[in-house]
């Protein structure tokens, strides 16, 4: 399912850095159009090469680029479906955090071939959470930094004030620390659960 992942990367780059940069990187890597067909298989190595080349061209670390991708997937109108999937997790940011354990299963309900790493949430103490993301590269994409960007954007979406820290990796997993400073810091973005009234 790397075609879908590559297409999301394409949208992110075109919307944030322009079409010329995107075309230049794709041509330099000699990538074919089939690499970006959402329902077509594609070698994970192509996604790895694509991220590396984009990071070098933009002048940012790959992890920083991936974190920005995670934020984009929630905050940009083009990817509203991702935001909606995540907002159905609960009425507030804390509900959202606890729903992360089920994220890979829910993603497979939407796209059966999309394999996300196992995610586990632990409450360390009041307002402090530890997230463990199964170590490794999923579909050519390191998911920890993407998840950091996604959580940051969801905090803004719910109106929560948080501090996030990607703590690196150990023998088993990537570690992310979430400090929830204020669950109701600001008004969240409007969200329609369906045909009913707006929920925040």
**What are 126-155's pLDDT values in tens digits?**
999 999 998 755 555 678 899 999 999 999
Q: Does residue 73 belong to any structural domain of this protein? A: no
**Domain match, 167 and 105 both:** yes
Q: Residue 36's CB: how many other CB atoms inside 10 A?
A: 22
Our CA dihedral for 61, 65, 67, 73, rounded to 10 degrees, sits at -170
Higher pLDDT, 121 or 105: 121
Tally DSSP H helices, then E strands, for the chain.
8, 8
Query: What are the phi and psi torsion angles at 122 (to 5°)?
Result: -130, 135
> For residue 12, which of 52, 49, 54, 41 has the smallest C-alpha distance?
54
Domain housing 18:
2-60
Say how far apart CA 55 and CA 65 lie, in whole Å.
6
pLDDT beyond 90 at 83: no
**Domain match, 37 and 122 both:** no
Count the residues in the chain.
Answer: 200
Q: Does residue 65 belong to any structural domain of this protein? A: no
pLDDT beyond 60 at 177: yes
Most confident of 67-71, 82-86, 183-187: 67-71
Helix (H) or strand (E) segment spanning residue 173: strand 173-182
99: Cα separation from own chain's centroid: 15
pLDDT beyond 90 at 122: yes
> For residue 121, which of 143, 149, 157, 95 has the smallest C-alpha distance?
95
**Domain match, 87 and 162 both:** yes
**Domain match, 130 and 181 both:** yes
> For residue 180, which of 131, 107, 116 has the smallest C-alpha distance?
131
Residue % of the chain over a pLDDT of 90: 51
DSSP state of 67: H
pLDDT score recorded for residue 200: 43
Say how far apart CA 159 and CA 17 lie, in whole Å.
27
pLDDT beyond 90 at 98: yes
pLDDT score recorded for residue 199: 40
pLDDT beyond 60 at 194: no
pLDDT beyond 70 at 84: yes
**Domain match, 122 and 52 both:** no
User: What does pLDDT average to over the chain?
Assistant: 85
Q: Does residue 133 belong to any structural domain of this protein? A: yes
Inter-helix orientation angle 44-58/19-29, to 10°:
130
Average pLDDT over residues 54-59: 95
For the entire predicted model, the pTM comes to 0.86
Inter-helix orientation angle 80-87/143-158, to 10°:
70
**Domain match, 104 and 8 both:** no
End-to-end CA distance of the chain: give it in Å, rounded: 33
pLDDT score recorded for residue 195: 40
Q: Is 156 within 8 Å of 187 (Cβ atoms)?
A: no
Q: Does residue 6 belong to any structural domain of this protein? A: yes
């Amino acid at each position: 399912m790397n075609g879908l992942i590559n297409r999301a990367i394409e949208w992110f780059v075109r919307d944030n850095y322009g079409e010329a940069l995107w075309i230049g990187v794709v041509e330099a890597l000699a990538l074919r159009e089939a690499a970006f067909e959402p329902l077509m298989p594609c070698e994970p190595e192509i996604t790895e090469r694509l991220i590396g080349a984009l990071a070098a061209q933009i002048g940012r670390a790959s992890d920083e680029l991936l974190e920005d991708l995670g934020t984009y997937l929630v905050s940009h109108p083009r990817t509203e479906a991702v935001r909606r999937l995540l907002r159905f997790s609960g009425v507030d940011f804390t509900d959202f955090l606890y729903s992360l354990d089920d994220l890979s299963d829910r993603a497979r309900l939407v796209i059966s071939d999309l394999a996300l790493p196992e995610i586990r949430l632990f409450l360390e103490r009041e307002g402090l959470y530890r997230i463990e993301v199964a170590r490794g590269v999923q579909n050519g994409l390191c998911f920890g930094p993407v998840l950091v960007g996604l959580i940051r954007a969801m905090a803004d979406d719910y109106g929560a004030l948080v501090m996030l820290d990607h703590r690196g990796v150990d023998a088993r997993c990537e570690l992310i620390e979430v400090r929830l400073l204020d669950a109701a810091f600001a008004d969240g973005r409007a969200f329609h659960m369906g045909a009913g009234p707006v929920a925040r």
